[in-house]
Amino acid sequence: MCGMKKMIYGLIALVCLANLFVHQALAQNYPSRPIKFIAPFPPGGTSDVLGRLIAQKLSEGLGQPVILENRPGASGNIGHEMAAKASADGYTILLSNSSTVVNNPFLYKQMPFDWYKDFTPISMVAIAGQVLVVNPNVPAKTLAELTALLKANPGKYNFGSGGKGIQSHISGEMYKAASGVDIVHIPYKGTGVAVADAVAGQIQMVFSDMAPAVPFVKSNKLRALAVTSLQRSSTLPDVPTMAEQGYPGFETSVWWSIVGPKGLPNAIVERINFELSKIMVTQEIKDAFEKLGVSPLYSKPEVVFEKSRAESPIIGEIMKRAGIEKE
């Protein structure tokens, strides 16, 4: 029996050693072909725009094409599930976001992935507040006027979001709870789609990421009434914060990170992380991100999970107060 155990342990050791050699060889030759970069939301939204900027720079640094692939649906769950099931060889990476990984577990009874068990963190890449925009036909020029209008017409106005539980939804629910207004939530498959419908007048307002909304604000196709960061945005410096307009402590933000499937070799994580450390400090990226109302970030891999663990109880309490239940 003792001899059998030694044989089994020996075989296990050989398998582990073989896997180590395979991973080392893989990392040394990485990358040798194009890399799929999944964005879990539709074209036009922040994830898409950021993803394309980062993909271009990663392509230059890694010496292989990094191809963005939009996989929208289920508030980001579909794209995350696809990435979680991919081979851990570095040829599928994901542009994740806090709305999906922090908020969705409080919204869905069954999640198609486990954020902490199914992914390998690589780095944080961006963070941004949001902006409350309304269609110009809405007869309100300030947040106070909007609140008065909504209170005088309960249930007659609606707000769009990038999907159930996406930060644009949570921000709307926070505003409802803080102001006492009654507005109807209309979920879309991405914030960019919701913004487009706000421009068309199909919905009246959106708490939007900066990227899809700012061009329409600058062209007067949408009216910006407030930003959700505690400080004014350098992208929209004339737009006051929610806190300035009678909602102290009102702050919401979205952050983005790059992750790979579970088991991604450390050497590959380090290689991509190293490239991101160079990309995120370039003036080109800083300027491009600022136009989108987004701040570039870089971090060690472990910070990604630390950030989500810190925010999870806060978001859970917000959803509880707003009466949002799992479905």
Domains annotated on the chain, with CATH: 12-127+255-322 (3.40.190.150), 130-245 (3.40.190.10)
pLDDT of residue 13: 47
From 159, 158, 155, select the one nearest 169 (Cα to Cα). 159
Question: How far apart, in Å, are the Cα atoms of 18 and each of 15, 27, 62, 75, 87?
Answer: 5, 14, 26, 39, 18
Reading the block at residue 121, the tokens are 């963190």
Confidence of residue 317 (pLDDT cuts 50, 70, 90): confident
pLDDT at 322 exceeding the cut of 80: no
- C-beta atoms surrounding 311 within 10 Å: 16
| φ and ψ at residue 97, rounded to 5 degrees | -155, 155
| φ and ψ at residue 133, rounded to 5 degrees | -120, 150
- C-beta atoms surrounding 6 within 10 Å: 10
| φ and ψ at residue 156, rounded to 5 degrees | -95, -15
pLDDT of residue 327: 81
The 10s digit of each residue's pLDDT in 183-238 is 999 999 888 899 999 999 999 999 998 888 999 999 999 999 999 998 899 889 99
Question: What is the Cα–Cα distance from 131 to 209, expressed in whole angstroms?
Answer: 6
> Mean pLDDT, to the nearest integer, of 14-40?
71
Scanning the structure block, which residue is given the tokens 């001899």?
Answer: 3
pLDDT of residue 42: 87
Which position has the higher pLDDT, 248 or 10?
A: 248
pLDDT of residue 26: 53
pLDDT at 8 exceeding the cut of 80: no
Beta bridge pairs of residue 184: 158
Tally the residues of the chain.
Answer: 327
Listed range (8-17, 73-82, 172-181) with the worst mean pLDDT: 8-17
pLDDT of residue 3: 57
Question: What is the Cα–Cα distance from 308 to 312, expressed in whole angstroms?
Answer: 6
Which position has the higher pLDDT, 190 or 100?
A: 100
Q: Give the list of residues 6+ apart from residue 82 with CB closer than 8 angstroms, or none.
A: 38, 71
Upstream peptide bond of 237 is cis (omega within 30 degrees of 0): no
Question: How far apart, in Å, are the Cα atoms of 132 and each of 50, 65, 124, 318?
Answer: 20, 36, 25, 19
The 10s digit of each residue's pLDDT in 103-128 is 999 989 999 999 999 999 999 999 98
| φ and ψ at residue 29, rounded to 5 degrees | -95, 0
Q: Give the list of residues 6+ apart from residue 158 with CB closer than 8 angstroms, or none.
A: 183, 184, 185, 186, 203, 204, 205
Q: Give the list of residues 6+ apart from residue 249 with CB closer than 8 angstroms, or none.
A: 243
**Which helix (H) or strand (E) segment is 3 a member of?**
helix 2-28
The 10s digit of each residue's pLDDT in 77-93 is 999 999 999 999 999 99
